[in-house]
Amino acid sequence: MSNQSILKLAIQKSGRLYEDSVGLLKSCSIGVSNGGGRLRTVASNFPLEVYFLRDDDIPQYVEDGVADCGIVGENVLFEKNKKVQIEEPLGFGKCRLSLAMPKARNYEGVQGLRGARIATSYPHLLGQFLKQNKVDAEIHEISGSVEIAPGIGLADCICDLVSTGSTLISNGLKEVEVLLRSEAVMVSNQHLDFPKRQLLDKLLFRIRAVRKAKNNKYILLNAPNDRIEDIKKILPGMKSPTVLPLAEPGWSSVHSVVQEDHFWDIIEDLQAIGAQGILVVPIEKMIV
């Protein structure tokens, strides 16, 4: 039997983080599926064993070393308050933990919550927030459907996860305070042995390359030679842009990498100084 190390990764078995977690592994060329409701599986192309769990259990499993690492929302991680290492934000599962109340009610600031009954699945984070603000309120812990609590008279307000806010609106609630902004993160056990640490670093290297690529585009354009210097100023590229002569005399083709965030501004500037035939293509992996 081989004694080669294998990294054990815990991900959500179904729910909002499942697709993106599996998708992230896939984009790192690691095949995984929980087909048939399996609880664990060995990945193809990487020494990785994946455990499919409820997200709430992931911090504990990673702290105990049952899993070496895991993908979980910061909201769950901070609520559970387990001793694990945060390795890397992953850019999905974005949401916020917010206080909300019936829209007809007047919000008088945090101090106005004194004596209020607040329903939540996040008693630890809410308790911390109230303590920081020196407000005494009643925390009602419920495990789901928190947003209906005010409507049925169970609470005056709620502390719950929000992403678009449409669930709040359809329950006649308004968001009045943000306690935490959250996204999915990779966490790890604090006492990984060297071979596992190396495997995790290898996985993180791939994840960073994929995420970087997603935020960047490869751009190609044609321009008259006398505009190249101006174009270089707009398109710094990874080192500097690639400039190749076109068959047509006096013209060149310029290749570079631009960040998605700055993309449209850059395109406008390029057109304004005479760039033509601009092509933009996605990058699959980016190692810098």
Site string for Zn ion, 40-59 (x = CB under 5 A): ---------------xx---
Total residues contacting ligand ATP (rule CB under 6 A)?
15
Min dist CB 14 to ligand ATP, Å, is 7
Say how far apart CA 77 and CA 182 lie, in whole Å: 10
Q: Which of 59, 73, 150, 241 binds ligand ATP (CB under 6 A)?
A: 73
Helix axes 194-214, 18-27, angle to 10 degrees: 90
Site string for ligand ATP, 84-103 (x = CB under 6 A): ---------x-x--------
189 binds, among Zn ion, ligand ATP, none (CB under 5 to 8 A by kind): none
- Residue 16 contact, options ligand ATP, Zn ion, none, Cβ 5-8 Å cut-off depending on partner type: ligand ATP
Concatenated DSSP letters of 120-181: ES-HHHHHHHHHHTT---EEEE-SS-GGGTTTTTS-SEEEEEESSSHHHHHTTEEEEEEEEE
**Pick 96 or 212: Cβ nearer ligand ATP:** 96
Binding region for ligand ATP (CB under 6 A) out of 3-11, 14-22, 44-52, 190-198: 14-22
Indicate the residue type of 119: A
Q: Half-sphere exposure of residue 233, counting CA atoms within 13 Å on the CB side?
A: 5
Could you tell me how many helices (H) and strands (E) the chain has, helices first? 8, 15
- Give the nearest distance from C-beta 142 to ligand ATP in angstroms: 13
Closest distance of CB 13 from ligand ATP, Å = 7
Where along the sequence are the contacts to Zn ion (CB under 5 A)? 55-56
